[in-house]
Amino acid sequence: MPLNEIAASLYAWDLADETVERCLDNLQALAGVNSAYLVGMMHKEKRPLHARFYPHNPVRKYYTPEDSRAYWRPDPAAYPGRIKPLTSDRDFLAGTDWLEVLIKDARSRGMKTGCEISHTVIDAQVAREQYPDVLQRDVFGHVVGTFEAIEAQRALPCLNNPDVAEYLAGLVTDLVGRHDIDFIQSCLVMFGSGYSRSNTVGGSAVRASWNEVLATTTGGCFCDSCRDKAVAQGLDWDAIVAEVRHLNLVYTGRDLEQAHEGQLLRESNYSEAELLLENAAFASWLAFRRRSIDDLFALINKAAHDARPGIDFRYNTYMARPELAGLNFTSAFQHVDSVRESDYSDQLGTAEGVAIKRAKLMKVRRALAYDKPLLAALGVRPNATPETLRASVKAAVDSGCDGLSLGHYDGATMERLRAVTEGVAEWEGLESSWIHQPDRDRS
């Protein structure tokens, strides 16, 4: 099948600084982009992410966004509950519906359009002050954050909390019901998966794994909503809490006996299967998280299709090991219309990195079955090379992808964008490559 969709993401500040015309001119001409989406709700993450400074922004060297702001104009009627989307307080962004800015120009070029709700949907500081009860808790009751150190005071909402579910459905209804978008993409962080993990680059499936499964005991969630839902499903919550507390201490080594036990395990040939067989309550909690994430996908699917039946609900993966956040591809993907596999291992700049990407694509392809589009992310940023980008297009072709999705224009170099077009031509990714053309093929 051809790589029919070549998508690219843009941020509101890219549009403000470079103009939507310049961004889309470059993406269209250099990389063959025919689908543009706004990261409509963005988490607190310095941009560009990997490089220290922007390679081509004419206004600023770098940007530090506010936490979880909406860059469209939200409709208050879509949010009847107590959690409401926040918009930007920055002068150069405030008051403009950046999604409409992108849609208007993209449609004039005949492009597809979309909007992403990225990793987080609440401002952590606001939530800690105004509705701390909706936040994920670890097994000792501490608020669970995203990827940063606990000192960063971040926070994740619990996806089993009814107020959070209402808010999420509101975001989806607002975006799909009131904007001319073809797809709504979710890259939500799910259950906190524990400390010290880099989840976007690398991470092969063969890495020693039982210790990473054990790390989930430092993640979420053990809030009241989770307890009530688990008990209603017949789980022994007290047994789960007791077992996970013990395993948490073994993992962190915060007390002498448990630290000693952790040392023995790490010097032994212990396995992931043994960990799960030995700790049945812990294993039942992991399965409970999986069912909870399935419910989340069903909720977003329903809100999106209730707002507009023809909408494409696209999931954007974000982790090397999504199962540690509760996501099982096979069950959750029953509720999606397409998937963007967000691996950026091409940025390792090596053939091994491309092999990691290929393996992840194969895993999604199998779980998604063959009738739903799969898009391979390409990291068009300086850590990737034109060679790894062209090889990544081959990995997409090898794994039966239906499109590509570039991440992210703000950090891209023009040479990396050109490598996308070159890779698509080299590996014959478009149907036009498969049809003899006298002009092109005259030797």
Residues of this chain that bind Zn ion (CB under 5 A): 158, 160, 221, 223, 225-226
Q: How near is the Cβ of 241 to Zn ion at its closest, in Å? A: 13
Burial (CB < 10 A; 0-12, 13-18, 19+), residue 202, is middle
309/348 Cα distance (integer angstroms): 40
Nearer to Zn ion, 226 or 247 (CB): 226
Length of the chain: 443
CB of 165 to Zn ion, least distance (A): 11
Residue closer to Zn ion by CB (options 225, 347) is: 225
**Minimal distance, residue 222 CB to Zn ion, in Å:** 7
**Measured from the CB of residue 226, what is the shortest distance to Zn ion in angstroms?**
3
CA angle 114, 336, 107 (to 5 degrees): 15
CB nearer Zn ion, residue 214 or residue 296: 296
Could you tell me the smallest distance in angstroms from the CB atom of residue 223 to Zn ion?
Answer: 3
Tell me phi and psi for residue 150, to 5 degrees.
Answer: -60, -30
CB 26 within 8 A of CB 36: no
User: Closest CB to Zn ion among 156 and 361?
Assistant: 156
* Residues pairing with 87 in the sheet: 70
Nearer to Zn ion, 165 or 307 (CB): 165
**b/e per residue, 9-47, with b = 16+ CB within 10 A?**
bbbbbbbbbbebeebbebbbebbbbbbbbbbbbbbbbeb
Query: What's the closest the beta carbon of residue 229 comes to Zn ion, in angstroms?
Result: 8
As measured in angstroms, the least distance from the Cβ of 163 to Zn ion is: 12
Of 113 and 248, CB closest to Zn ion: 248
- Give the span between the Cα atoms of 293 and 59, in whole angstroms: 41
- DSSP codes, 339-404: EEE---GGGG-SHHHHHHHHHHHHHHHHHH-SSS-EEEEEE-STTS-HHHHHHHHHHHHHTT-SEE
| Beta carbon nearer to Zn ion, 241 or 359 | 241
